[in-house]
Amino acid sequence: MNGSKPDTAVTRRVALLVVDGVSMLDVAAPSEVFAESRHSSGTYDLVVCSPDGKNVTTGSGLSLQADCDAHDEGPIDTAIIAGGCGLPNRTLSPEYISAARHLAGRARRVASVCTGAFVLGAAGLLDGRKATTHWHHTQRLQELYPQAEIIHDSELVSDGNLITSAGEGAGIALTLHLLKEDQGEKVRSVVARDLVVYQPPPADPAGQVTSAPRNPLVRKLTEEIVADPSAQYTLTDLASRAAVSPRHLSRLFQEELRTTPAKFVEQVRFDTARSLLDSGESVTNTAFMSGFGSMETLRRAFITRLGVSPRAYQHRFKTV
């Protein structure tokens, strides 16, 4: 991997490697974040690459056009390896592994979204490095690539010019992290705000961004909320589950997550709704499965946050 620093006056070329079964979220997240940063001092040229230059079919069944053959790419600023369905238990083709190595060898930095870390591991790019992936697959990643140090409870792990992320939703967090590296916290914050992205606490001194709250009470509650966003979560209910007063619980959430319990629940439900719509779920089912309870409540949330209705959002996603 090339460690040279890019010229901030030129457009940064980003190559996103995809194959059949890729998660559409892993493609859409970097695309949206980089596009939203177009008003900042730097610009990005994002190209979607496949190992052979052919179009791929996403995990949701949508066709995704590839811009080029990954092996044809010359020097690039950033290589991003997207995750996808079945990667942890899939035999990766030599062409796929070769494409990842080729891009990594021509990039200033390399990143992976979710299970894309398995491709980096197969390419030998995790050896001696710290990395992460979706929490459900961290143990398998460690077993397959024992030369790497797999972090089990982090959303992002940065080790030099290698950045890995956990979960499909972390694609946005990953790209915002890259944006911060390039143009600073101010630009990252502006883009995050414009995209209505929940902003977590900053990275620790070691460069590791943790998504799991350190306080065990808050961590347990947030895990329950994420696991079942459709359940009832009033402040009184949550405080009762944690066996603390509502006031104390609010203080703990503010300290750990810089938000209130109610806003955290709302954010989880909104993120869940977006994911369900992205996967092709109907608006009606999404409203109830995500915990909004009604189509009107869901519609108001989308209008407030994104300026479009759930149906309009889903239509735009399908045409990405």
Q: How far apart are CA 21 and CA 91, in angstroms?
A: 13
Is 3 within the bounds of a domain?
no
Q: Are residues 143 and 277 in the same domain?
A: no
Q: Are residues 257 and 279 in the same domain?
A: yes
Domain end among 182, 209, 236:
209
Is 5 within the bounds of a domain?
no
Q: Are residues 30 and 98 in the same domain?
A: yes
Q: Are residues 230 and 133 in the same domain?
A: no
Q: What is the pLDDT of residues 102-148, one digit of tens each?
A: 999 999 999 999 999 999 999 999 999 999 998 888 999 999 999 99
Strand stretches in the chain, DSSP E: 12-17, 44-50, 56-57, 63-64, 68-69, 76-81, 107-112, 130-131, 149-150, 154-159, 162-165, 208-210
Is 2 within the bounds of a domain?
no
Domain end among 158, 191, 209:
209
Here the tokens at position 309 are 């209705």
Domains contained in the chain, number: 2
Contact 28, 317 (CB under 8 A): yes
What pLDDT is attached to residue 168? 59
Is 133 within the bounds of a domain?
yes
Is 72 within the bounds of a domain?
yes
Q: Name the residue range of residue 238's domain.
A: 216-318
Q: What is the pLDDT of residues 239-269, one digit of tens each?
A: 998 899 999 999 999 888 888 999 999 989 9
Is 169 within the bounds of a domain?
yes
Contact 133, 111 (CB under 8 A): no
Q: Is the pLDDT of residue 208 over 60?
A: no
